[in-house]
A = this chain, B = another copy of it.
Amino acid sequence: MSVRVFVRVDAAPRPGAVLSLDHDEHHYLARVRRVRPGQAVEALDLRGQRWQAAVEAIDAKQASIRLVRSMPTRPAPPSVAIIGLPSPAAALDAVARCCELGVEDVLLVRCELSQVGPPSDARTTRVLRASQRQCGRPREPRVQSLSLAEALAFRGEIPLFVGERDADVKEPRLDHARSGFRVAVGPEGGFSVREQAQLRDGGAIGLQLGPWTLRTEVAIVAACSRLAAAAERRPHVACGPKPTSA
């Protein structure tokens, strides 16, 4: 498994640059992974680039790495996960899964059936860092707490789906996700009748997630995977004028 390390950079770094690591990253390399000088590692620069790198020097007090070459990242369609807050542990699990699946924006919404508020920023950041270390994503998703009305207005130009157990999904509906997607999943117990009406008024398309009731943190993975598969079915092209046909 790759050893991944975070580096802070001010400007865009170049191959060959030697970067010293901060305390946490030194601890991770020296104590947790016990790497040696020369060992290959993967560096995630917090500007959003991944690098093949090698340990330049490491001792009990400090460590540095040398960047070798930047690694390509695949473009992904815009994606927004709207999560009705379940228990704090489940909310953090859902945020980590969204990070690993490449979701750009995670909106945590306190719903009528939510028992508690959002996890603290400090816990969220810790969970995101662990998730990035595991999955290799250099830039974390943006995570915000919003009301349902605010969440439904967020990036309103992108098609909106809502995960439901019994929705009757036809192929063309998933195809709406080709240019990106927003998807909402309810808290434990689901969206209330009033919230469901709000979602319908927001133009949400029912997205069936299988025959059985899914936990919030499983439903968001199932929903994002289905929609991402639909979005990948054609190369993502940035908005621009269409070629005119002859």
Contacts and interface: CB of A to CB of B under 8 A. Distances in A.
A188 B1 contact: yes
Interface stretch (A20-28, A54-62, A134-142): A134-142
A74 interface: yes
Given A134-B213, A211-B74, A232 B169 contact: yes
A125 interface: no
Contact of A210 (B2, B100, B171, B214): B100
Interface in A134-185: 134-137, 169, 171, 174
Interface string A217-246: 010011101101110110000000000000
A223 B226 CA distance: 9
Interface in A91-123: 97, 100-102
Nearest to A101: B210
Given A169-B232, A233-B171, A102 B226 contact: no
Interface of chain A, helix or strand or loop or mixed? loop
Contact of A212 (B136, B222, B226): B136
Given A1-B188, A174-B229, A210-B228, A222 B136 contact: no
A67 interface: no
Contacts of A228: 210
Nearest to A76: B211
Interface residues of A, number: 37
A85 to B, nearest CB: 15
Interface in A1-36: 1-2
A2 B214 CA distance: 13
Nearest to A234: B171
Nearest to A169: B232
A234 to B, nearest CB: 8
Given A1-B188, A211-B76, A229-B174, A101 B134 contact: no
